[in-house]
A = this chain, B = another copy of it.
Amino acid sequence: MAGNTIGQLFRVTTFGESHGVALGCIIDGCPPGLALTEADMQHDLDRRRPGTSKYTTQRREADEVKILSGVFEGQTTGTSIGLLIENTDQRSKDYSNIQDLFRPGHADYTYHQKYGVRDYRGGGRSSARETAMRVAAGAVAKKYLKQVHGIEVRAYLSQMGAVKIDKVDWQQIEQNAFFCPDVDKVDAFDELIRNLKKDGDSIGAKITVVAQNVPVGLGEPVFDRLDADIAHSLMSINAVKGVEIGDGFDVVEQRGSEHRDAMTLQGFKTNHAGGILGGISSGQDVIAHIALKPTSSISVPGETITKQGESAEVITKGRHDPCVGIRAVPIAEAMLAITLMDHLLRNRGQNADVVTTTPKI
């Protein structure tokens, strides 16, 4: 299907199904000389890993990543980096009962129609399990961005169902199982999940991802704008149905005099734009929000049809996340980092000669 690659100079290509032998990816274009070990990726993989809290699926995967190439004597060589994660806890039997069903809200029907054949075990390639490799590749990008350019990419859960956060305390995010930056909302999230489990239902969520210390000038108008490529990479995450840059949909009701960010010698006064003007980074924080739909893998009975074309009722047993938005936090960070990394290299290639005299604000 030739759709498993993202990026142009920093290029990530992945493979692997939910219940296949293994997941893998190739990172092509990572600059040489970056100190890199499995540990650099394992931290983010553990943040995304299933079975780590009572709020997520109980599937147990070690998600141990192995570096197969591209690193020599502890540093990247500039050649393609091969990564591998073996699947250990498949339990395919959980799925045998639905191999002929098209689960509503899933990719079962579309994959079957497109390919005429599909790996029905846990959704096969359409499963969010695939995102483990995005997180591994993203960790490499995050390390380079941080170390070489001081760019920090972080995300948090900003809303789950009707519960919204009121404040952002970066220190709090890793202190709770929800990646919630507002300590006063943790109990509300906890209660929401408990009720959903009781009902065998699921809920949507909103994630905010922020990149700090992004240099001015990233993004290639008019189609490869930084915001357009961020929209692409974030919308490619399973379950995402919406992407916003800066004020996003709030701009619909704003006036120009209210939206435009005034510039002063001390810098921009506000950041309605989300750090991007004309598709190019402005030097302010790059801010994006994504909406994740509630998973359709729930035990509430649903109406569907079978491969044979008969009506049927579906109840998904298996082990699932009541809110896929929680584990999507490190995935959102990874995708933003991959996109920024790609644009950093692209801009460096094309604008190495540029010397601007203006005071950077």
Q: Once bound together, how far apart are the Cα atoms of A276 and B292, in whole Å?
A: 14
Of residues 98 through 136 on chain A, the ones whose CB sits less than 8 Å from some CB of chain B are 102, 104-107, 109-119, 124-126, 130
Determine whether A187 belongs to the interface, using a CB cutoff of 8 Å to chain B: no
A359 to B310, CA, bound (A): 10
Q: Which chain A residues (148-181) contact chain B, with CB distance < 8 Å?
A: 148, 159-162
Which of B118, B160, B262 is in CB contact (< 8 Å) with A72?
A: B118
CB-defined contacts of A277 to chain B, threshold 8 Å: 105-107, 109-110
Is A29 part of the binding interface, using a Cβ–Cβ cutoff of 8 Å? yes
Q: 5 A-B contacts, Cβ less than 8 Å apart?
A: A13-B26, A104-B262, A203-B254, A242-B244, A250-B291
Known pairs A113-B360, A256-B297. 17 more at Cβ < 8 A?
A1-B78, A1-B350, A2-B346, A4-B80, A4-B221, A33-B115, A33-B116, A72-B119, A72-B124, A105-B273, A106-B277, A113-B217, A159-B252, A162-B253, A229-B232, A251-B291, A260-B296
How many copies of this kind of chain does the complex include?
4
Q: Is A303 an interface residue (CB 8 A)?
A: yes
Chain B residue nearest to A158 (CB atoms) is B252
Cβ contacts under 8 Å, A107 to chain B:
221, 277-280
Chain B residue contacts of A260, Cβ below 8 A: 104-105, 296, 302
Query: How far does the Cβ of A159 sit from chain B's closest Cβ, in whole Å?
Result: 5
The reply to whether A247 and B255 form a contact with Cβ atoms under 8 Å apart is no
A188 in contact (CB, < 8 A): no
Question: Which residues 2-38 of A sit at the B interface, judged by CB distance below 8 A?
Answer: 2-11, 13-17, 20-24, 26, 28-29, 31-33
For chain A, the count of residues having a C-beta within 8 Å of the partner chain is 164
A46-54, A57-65, A233-241: which lies at the B interface? A233-241
User: In the complex, which residues of chain B have a beta carbon less than 8 angstroms from the beta carbon of A229?
Assistant: 232
Q: Which of B69, B233, B241, B351 contacts A31 (CB 8 A)?
A: B351
- With known contacts A24-B24, A114-B280, A161-B252, A233–B228 Cβ distance under 8 A: yes
Using Cβ atoms and an 8 Å threshold, which residues of chain B touch A31? 350-354
Residue among A23, A80, A258, A272 with the highest chain B CB neighbour number at 10 A: A80
In the complex, the answer to whether A70 meets B263 with C-beta atoms within 8 Å is no
Within 8 A of B (CB), among A312-361: 345-356, 358-361
Q: Which of B112, B234, B293, B356 contacts A254 (CB 8 A)?
A: B293
Contacts of A269 in B (CB 8 A): 303
- Is A291 touching B13 in the complex (CB atoms < 8 A)? no
Bound state CA distance, A247 and B105, in angstroms?
A: 13
B279 touches A236 (CB 8 A): yes
Confirm or deny: A79 has a beta carbon within 8 angstroms of a beta carbon on chain B.
yes
A113 proximity list for chain B (CB < 8 A)? 216-217, 280, 283, 356, 358, 360
- Shortest A349–chain B CB gap in Å is 3
Asked if B356 and A224 make an inter-chain contact with CB atoms under 8 angstroms apart, the answer reads: no
Q: Does A77 interact with chain B (Cβ within 8 Å)?
A: yes
From B5, B118, B257, contact of A11 by CB (8 A) = B5
Give the docked Cα–Cα distance between A29 and B348 (Å).
12
A97: interface (CB < 8 Å): no
A96 proximal to B (CB < 8 A): no
